[in-house]
Amino acid sequence: MRKNALGPNLQSLQVFRRVVELRSFQAAAQSMGLSGGTVSKLVAQLEADVGVRLLHRTTRSMAVTEAGQGLYQTAVRIQDELANGLDLARQAQSAVEGVLRVAVPTSFALMWMSSRMPRFMDLHPQITLDLSLNDSFVDLVAQGFDAAVRITQQLPDSGLVARPLGTVSRVAVAAPHYLAVAPPLDTPDDVAFHACLLYTQTPQPFEWPATVPGRSPVAVTGHYRVNNSVMLRDALVAGQGVALTPRFVVDDLLRRGALVEVLADHRLTDLTAFGVVPQPRYLPRKVRAFFEFLESEMAASPL
């Protein structure tokens, strides 16, 4: 292969990085607004510049060579450091700006974030905030997100970088008129004798988690199952059963007495709201501003 005396250019490194992350020339082209031919040409030129094969590709598959993996790590470091340097150079300006794409859990967005986002926009009017509501763990790199908010006990080992933003308490709740005619509900084991309203997005929706280490979860049944916890609210108020839910979903209903907490002496451990980013070395100012805002709001009004 013919080497370029000037070495690889930044665009070819950017394209190569995207191809490796998406494992597809076509997907990389679409995400960067380029043609497939341009992407292939830039990767071929990069291989010519460095003088080694970086990708093994056939009509059906693509694999990164050992040399390609090493160059990919270098490309990530160079691009992140460049972005960081540019961001630092802009810090003389008071405004934080740019398009900020964030994936957020649907119920959290509707019941807690929604009322607070106008204040964030007032603080940062030059940010274009693009929120995507999704309870699944989206691929930040493949789908072009700057960040995500994820609420869980522990994040899977995904190679992403996570920043704790605050804690999220869980409560077991039911309507007073349901409890007036239902069987006793004094311990978690009693849940097995109740109609449960089930949030199916959890890994084990048909189990009530143990509140004491070492104890087995309680198997539960329910005739109403949904993958969005906001949908449980009306069914709870109507007296359809008991549900385990983040407090922010039902906090207003608890305050006005439409629901009451049960098993308050057997609460589960809190969940954690994490701010997640795909870059290991660099946190853009717009993302940092968003995370700091959420962290401040959660500290002021614990969930």
Rounded to an integer, the average pLDDT of 164-187 is 91
* 226 pLDDT higher than 50: yes
pLDDT of residue 296: 92
pLDDT of residue 101: 92
End-to-end CA distance of the chain: 59
pLDDT of residue 213: 61
| Range 170-266: architecture per CATH | 3-Layer(aba) Sandwich (3.40)
Which position has the token pair 């986002």? 117
Q: Sheet of 147-152: strands edge to edge? A: 127-133, 98-104, 147-152, 271-277, 161-168
The rounded distance, in Å, linking the Cα atoms of 39 and 27 is 10
CATH 1.10.10.10 fits 10-90, yes or no: yes
- Asked if domains 98-161+273-300 and 170-266 share a fold, the reply is yes
pLDDT of residue 157: 58
Contact (CB, 8 A) for 155 and 125: no
* 2 pLDDT higher than 50: no
Q: Are strands 207-208 and 218-219 parallel, antiparallel or unpaired?
A: antiparallel
* 98 pLDDT higher than 60: yes
pLDDT of residue 103: 92
- Specify which residues 173 forms β-bridges with: 243, 261
Of the listed ranges 76-80, 196-200, 261-265, the one predicted with least confidence: 76-80
Contact (CB, 8 A) for 157 and 165: no
pLDDT of residue 9: 72
Query: Which residue would you say has higher pLDDT here, 167 or 284?
Result: 167
- Domain range annotation of the chain: 10-90, 98-161+273-300, 170-266
pLDDT, the chain, mean:
83
Categorize the per-residue pLDDT at 3 as very low, low, confident or very high, splitting at 50, 70 and 90: very low
The rounded distance, in Å, linking the Cα atoms of 287 and 62 is 32
Q: How far is CA 6 from CA 2, 48, 156, 159, in A?
A: 12, 12, 42, 33
In which region does residue 145 sit, left (phi positive, over 0), alpha (psi from -120 to 50) or beta (all else)? beta
* 39 pLDDT higher than 90: no
Query: Which residue would you say has higher pLDDT here, 132 or 89?
Result: 132
Indicate the pTM of the whole model: 0.66
> What whole-number percentage of the chain has pLDDT above 70?
86
pLDDT of residue 294: 94
Query: Which residue would you say has higher pLDDT here, 239 or 68?
Result: 239
Most confident of 51-55, 67-71, 161-165, 173-177: 173-177
Categorize the per-residue pLDDT at 117 as very low, low, confident or very high, splitting at 50, 70 and 90: very high
* 7 pLDDT higher than 70: no
Residue 118: which residues within 8 A CB-CB, separation 6 or more? none
Three-class SS of 177-213: HHHHHCCCCCCHHHHHHCEEEEECCCCCCCEECCCCC
pLDDT of residue 177: 95
* 94 pLDDT higher than 60: no
Rounded to an integer, the average pLDDT of 9-31 is 81
Cβ of 27: how many Cβ atoms within 10 Å?
Answer: 16
- What is the CATH number assigned to the segment(s) 98-161+273-300? 3.40.190.10
The rounded distance, in Å, linking the Cα atoms of 276 and 160 is 7
Contact (CB, 8 A) for 247 and 170: yes
pLDDT of residue 87: 63
Contact (CB, 8 A) for 135 and 200: no
